[in-house]
């Protein structure tokens, strides 16, 4: 059996679809099923069992002998929240509990880390485990992810294979429930549909022009493929970047969105909210050297192809993945 935590979420729900497409239906899905704002993300998915997040660890112990692998994709992902206690509980301790069960029962573990752990990028974006302690995350969400990465590397008792994937800027179907945390593609589509205009943040640094802030944007379907690839190929355990290895500007993303809708480009630059300015990453770029040296396949959907597919096949017809 396969376990997917965060199965109603953005990445998790699409990954369940991906597993179904591969022929897997023996899937245990885990999430907070008391919050039904995301329930439509699992409509039509073929799974074996639904387990509430709060009941899962005890359940996991009971069925561990039947589990082939766990993809731990559930987390509190609000980058604005400063609720340290909830991040400690859901992102750090919960992950430690899952790790412990996997280690005792020899179950491979693939979990979601984040490129937010790199902070402002002063130490680069290389998934080098020897220098990971130098990183300085900028928000409580990123700090909790970083803390678990470090804890995992320190453990003597580990799962037989384990991989922490540092997801970069993921966009794609099934993210509508994320609100403010949804991708610029999603918010941009809504803005363009309503007003014919896209609003992007101005730069508040002299070395970046408005709209020229850079991100390693990666389509969620590529993330699904990377999750399965690293499990299937079983390289050396550790921390791996999950990005494209290419940085693109928000201006590029905006123009691509207008092109996908066949609408003239109309971008307005607005001031960044004050609560974001000190925690904002101006440039992210995944160093994919480690991934490539492990002979892992890098999917490589271009920004243009990913945005076009997302808008035309999912947002415009209001479909889910």
What domains can be seen in the chain, in order of their start residue?
A: 2-170+217-246+285-300 (3.40.50.720), 179-214+247-283+309-315 (3.90.25.10)
Lookup result for tokens 């997801």: 167
Q: Record the pTM.
A: 0.95
Alpha carbon 132 to its chain's center: 19
Alpha carbon 286 to its chain's center: 13
Q: In the structure encoding, which two tokens stand for residue 146, read together?
A: 């970083």
Q: What is the DSSP code string of 6-37?
A: STTSHHHHHHHHHHHHTT---EEEEE-TT-GG
Q: In the structure encoding, which two tokens stand for residue 192, read together?
A: 């363009």
Instruction: Name residues whose C-beta falls within 8 Å of residue 262's C-beta, 6 or more positions apart in sequence.
Output: none
Q: In the structure encoding, which two tokens stand for residue 33, read together?
A: 């099923």
Per-residue pLDDT for the chain (321 aa), expressed as one digit of tens each? 999 999 999 999 999 999 999 999 999 999 998 766 677 888 899 999 999 999 999 999 999 999 999 999 998 877 778 888 888 898 999 999 999 999 999 999 999 999 999 998 889 999 999 999 999 998 999 999 999 999 999 999 999 999 999 999 999 999 988 888 899 999 999 999 999 999 999 998 899 999 999 999 999 999 999 999 999 999 999 999 999 999 999 999 999 999 999 999 999 999 988 877 777 888 899 999 999 999 999 999 999 999 999 999 999 888 888
Number of H helices, E strands in the chain: 11, 13
Any idea which residues carry the catalytic annotation?
Answer: 141, 178
Task: Write out the E strands in 159-295.
Answer: 162-167, 169-171, 198-201, 214-215, 217-219, 238-242, 248-249, 267-270
> Residue 228: which H helix or E strand, with range?
helix 220-233
Angle of CA points 144, 5, 188, to nearest 5°? 75
Contact status, residue 108 vs residue 231, Cβ threshold 8 Å: yes
């Amino acid at each position: 059996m396969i376990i997917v935590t965060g199965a109603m979420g953005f990445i998790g729900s699409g990954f369940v679809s991906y597993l179904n497409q591969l022929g897997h239906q023996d899937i245990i899905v885990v999430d907070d099923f008391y919050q039904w704002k995301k329930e439509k993300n699992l409509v039509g998915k073929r799974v074996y069992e639904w387990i509430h997040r709060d009941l899962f660890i005890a359940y996991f112990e009971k069925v561990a002998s039947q589990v082939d692998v766990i993809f731990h994709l559930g987390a509190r992902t609000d980058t604005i929240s400063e609720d340290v206690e909830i991040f400690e509980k859901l992102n750090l301790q919960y992950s430690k509990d899952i790790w412990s069960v996997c280690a005792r029962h020899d179950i491979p573990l693939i979990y979601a880390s984040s490129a937010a752990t790199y902070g402002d990028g002063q130490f680069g974006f290389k998934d080098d485990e020897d220098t990971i302690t130098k990183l300085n995350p900028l928000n409580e969400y990123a700090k909790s992810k970083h803390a678990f990465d470090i804890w995992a590397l320190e453990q003597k008792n580990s799962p037989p294979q384990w991989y922490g994937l540092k997801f970069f800027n993921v966009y794609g179907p099934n993210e509508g429930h994320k609100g403010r945390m949804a991708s610029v593609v999603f918010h941009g589509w809504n803005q363009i549909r309503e007003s014919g205009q896209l609003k992007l943040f101005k730069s508040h640094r002299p070395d970046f022009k408005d709209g020229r802030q850079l991100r390693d944007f990666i389509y969620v379907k590529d993330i699904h493929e990377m999750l399965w690839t690293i499990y299937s190929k079983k390289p050396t355990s550790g921390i791996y970047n999950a990005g494209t290895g290419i940085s693109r500007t928000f201006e590029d993303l905006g123009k691509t969105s207008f092109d996908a809708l066949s609408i003239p480009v109309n971008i307005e630059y607005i001031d960044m909210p004050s609560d974001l300015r000190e925690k904002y990453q101006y440039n992210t770029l995944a160093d994919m050297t480690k991934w490539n040296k492990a002979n892992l396949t890098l999917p490589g959907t271009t920004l243009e192809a990913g945005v076009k597919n997302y808008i035309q096949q999912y947002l415009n017809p209001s479909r889910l993945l």
